[in-house]
């Protein structure tokens, strides 16, 4: 999958958007003619939402679209009417400015049998680029990587930039984000391509040199450093990110500093980072670590944020053995 136009100013054509929407609804979600389909969007993602709604309307007689103002923070709960609509749908797609992936609303909907995908922070260019992919191949790469880490008690990640962090998996389950969501209760990001886990604990240092909100793609040589002790981030080199977490901590205390996720990208079509966390965290051979909420992905921490940071050149060890990353 090419990423050449993922961040340029060229506006994708209506035909390109429709093709991406068709891929999402058919190849990825396998929407049936007898199923209800909910599109959740917001005021800044209206064109993508309306395109998905139009394509869903060509497949099923029961499409619904709901739109609300962009949320205040990634991981913040959507309004109650949106949560209720998610809970009642067979299939959902959520192109939104702020992520609802790690929310109770999304998690409850899937627990009740809905299947769907969120597209947090999606742009029209990333939508077109990221859905131009062979998701069956991505599924194969994800399963191959999963076989190398499943059952390991600890994962260590190092990098030339200074990362050296060990995460304890405990009883937590590795999850696969393949983009193929055909079973009831299934969930994925789109664009897709990663395996991930919510660690029981972690200790060490990680250095983000790829993409991280609110900065986007970091400049060459720019780095964000995080110190982690006993599962919590204790030092943050960046003022803006520190302020976001401090604000969340006013509501939930220490949980805002939780080391929430370890993910490994498996999308071999993404051959460069473009500044979109949604796309860049899927790049094959990268690692991302997240701070904050993980209750919706197998953890126990409920926090109003989920901040992913991407490492470009990681080496990953499962119980001391280096694993082969997709490339």
The pLDDT tens digits of the residues spanning 109-155 come to 999 999 999 999 899 999 998 888 888 889 999 999 999 999 999 99
Residue found by looking up tokens 């962090």 in the block:
165
Q: In the structure encoding, which two tokens stand for residue 319, read together?
A: 């119980």
Distance of alpha carbon 3 from alpha carbon 274, whole angstroms: 7
Distance of alpha carbon 191 from alpha carbon 320, whole angstroms: 31
Q: Answer yes or no: is pLDDT of 44 > 50.
A: yes
Q: Which residues, 6+ apart, have CB-to-CB distance to 21 below 8 Å?
A: 48, 51, 52, 54, 55, 131
Nearest 5°: CA angle at 288, between 287 and 289? Answer: 130
Residue 192 or 327, more confident: 192
- Give the pLDDT confidence score for residue 111 in this predicted structure: 95
Q: Count the alpha carbons within 13 Å of 6 in the hemisphere toward its beta carbon.
A: 27
For 76-115, how does the pLDDT look when each residue is reduced to its tens digit (9 = 90+)? 899 999 999 999 999 999 999 998 988 999 999 999 999 9
- Give the pLDDT confidence score for residue 240 in this predicted structure: 97
Domain spans of the chain? Answer: 14-131, 135-322
How confident is residue 4, by pLDDT bands cut at 50, 70 and 90? Answer: very low
Q: Answer yes or no: is pLDDT of 8 > 60.
A: no
How confident is residue 68, by pLDDT bands cut at 50, 70 and 90? Answer: very high
Q: In the structure encoding, which two tokens stand for residue 67, read together?
A: 């739109």
Distance of alpha carbon 102 from alpha carbon 105, whole angstroms: 9
CATH of 14-131 given 3.40.50.10420, 3.40.30.10, 3.40.1830.10, 1.10.40.30: 3.40.1830.10
Predicted TM-score of the model (pTM): 0.81
Q: Identify the H or E element spanning 242.
A: helix 239-252
Exposure string of 98-118, with b = 16+ CB inside 10 Å and e = fewer, is bbbbbbbbbbebbeeebbbbb
How confident is residue 5, by pLDDT bands cut at 50, 70 and 90? Answer: very low
Distance of alpha carbon 135 from alpha carbon 147, whole angstroms: 18
Distance of alpha carbon 189 from alpha carbon 181, whole angstroms: 10
- Give the pLDDT confidence score for residue 74 in this predicted structure: 80
Residue 75: C-alpha distances to residues 78, 96, 115, 120, 123 (Å): 9, 11, 19, 10, 18
Q: Identify the H or E element spanning 105.
A: helix 104-111
For 24-42, how does the pLDDT look when each residue is reduced to its tens digit (9 = 90+)? 999 999 999 999 999 999 9
- Give the pLDDT confidence score for residue 130 in this predicted structure: 86
């Amino acid at each position: 999958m090419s990423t050449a136009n993922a961040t340029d100013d060229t506006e994708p054509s209506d035909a390109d958007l429709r093709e991406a929407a068709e891929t999402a609804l058919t190849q990825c979600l396998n929407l049936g003619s007898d199923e209800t389909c909910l599109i959740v969007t917001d005021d800044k993602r209206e064109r993508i939402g309306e395109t998905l709604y139009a394509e869903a309307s060509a497949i099923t007689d029961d499409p619904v679209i709901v739109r609300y103002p962009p949320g205040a923070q990634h991981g913040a709960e959507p309004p109650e009417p949106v949560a209720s609509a998610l809970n009642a749908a067979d299939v959902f797609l959520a192109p939104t400015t702020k992520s609802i992936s790690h929310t109770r609303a999304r998690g409850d909907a899937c627990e009740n049998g809905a299947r769907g995908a969120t597209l947090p922070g999606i742009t029209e260019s990333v939508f077109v680029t990221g859905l131009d992919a062979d998701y069956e191949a991505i599924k194969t790469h994800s399963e191959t990587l999963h076989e190398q880490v499943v059952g390991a008690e600890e994962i260590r990640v190092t990098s030339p930039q200074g990362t050296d962090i060990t995460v304890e998996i405990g009883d937590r389950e590795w999850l696969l984000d393949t983009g193929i969501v055909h079973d009831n209760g299934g969930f994925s990001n789109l664009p897709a391509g990663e395996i991930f886990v919510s660690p029981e604990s972690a200790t060490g240092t990680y250095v983000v040199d790829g993409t991280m909100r609110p900065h986007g793609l970091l400049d060459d040589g720019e780095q964000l450093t995080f110190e982690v002790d006993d599962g919590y981030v204790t030092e943050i080199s960046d003022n803006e990110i520190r302020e976001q977490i401090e604000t969340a901590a006013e509501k939930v205390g220490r949980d805002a500093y939780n080391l929430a996720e370890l993910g490994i990208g498996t999308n071999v079509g993404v051959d460069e980072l473009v500044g979109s966390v949604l796309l860049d965290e899927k790049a094959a051979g990268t690692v991302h670590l997240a701070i904050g909420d993980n209750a919706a992905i197998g953890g126990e921490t409920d926090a109003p944020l989920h901040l992913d940071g991407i490492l470009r050149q990681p080496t990953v060890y499962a119980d001391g053995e280096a694993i082969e990353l997709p490339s």
